[in-house]
Structure 1
Amino acid sequence: MAITSVPSADGQELTIVVQGRFDFGAHQEFRDAYERIEITPKRYVIDLKGATYLDSSALGMLLLLRDHAGGEHAQIRLTQCSPDVRKILSISNFEQLFQIS
């Protein structure tokens, strides 16, 4: 599991790239990706192109990010989801909480 965060040049957006299994083992690394940065982004992009697996703890981590980013007013996009990951997000009704593309 590798999680990296990349801020935009203007600091308005933070992209978090998830590689491999997105499960409880990634909890601290995922939190560090958005809590231990020097900017306060207005938007977040979670790039799931490299995510091979996603479980209920990963869904919980996304909800924690949403709370951290402003709850209902948070601007978070989940991008490049594989069909399997998209299915899990759909079953969990996450399209009502996040923008999924």
Structure 2
Amino acid sequence: MPIKATLSADGQELTIRVVGRFDFGAHQDFREAYERGGLTPERYIVDLHDADYIDSSALGMLLLLRDHAGGDAADIRIVRCNADVRKVLSISNFEQLFSIE
């Protein structure tokens, strides 16, 4: 499974780990990761350490997560990106919308 979600013990942080290609094929799993069980954590971490590819559909999925999490008030961090993924995020000006670490 290319998407793995882990909720912290206190229920305040949801980590979504993407493995392999982050493209339209991951759409259903990615959406289910943050919508399952009506979760409402305070923080979201999207771990892209093991993502080796990202495309425009993945950018759209990140925007859907942002809307789900509260838009401008959302606390979403995109972490551990490789250089290629970071370049796509940078070209798309996603550092304006997300905390990228």
Using structure 1 for the length normalisation, give the TM-score. Answer: 0.97
Q: What is the alpha-carbon root mean square deviation over aligned residues?
A: 0.9
Instruction: Could you tell me which runs of 5 or more consecutive residues in structure 2 were left unpaired when the two chains were aligned.
Output: none
Determine the structure 2 residue equivalent to 1:10: 10
Using structure 2 for the length normalisation, give the TM-score. Answer: 0.97
Q: Report how far residue 2 of structure 1 moved.
A: 1.1
Identity of aligned residues (%): 70
Question: For 1:4-60, what per-residue CA distance to the aligned partner results, in whole angstroms no more than 9, with x for missing partners?
Answer: 100011000000000000000110010000001353101000000000100000000
Determine the structure 1 residue equivalent to 2:36: 36
Instruction: Could you tell me which runs of 5 or more consecutive residues in structure 1 were left unpaired when the two chains were aligned.
Output: none
Determine the structure 2 residue equivalent to 1:46: 46
Q: Specify the code of the residue in structure 1 equivalent to 2:14.
A: L
Question: Where has structure 1 moved over 4 Å in runs of 4 or more?
Answer: none
- SS of the residue corresponding to residue 5 of structure 1 reads strand
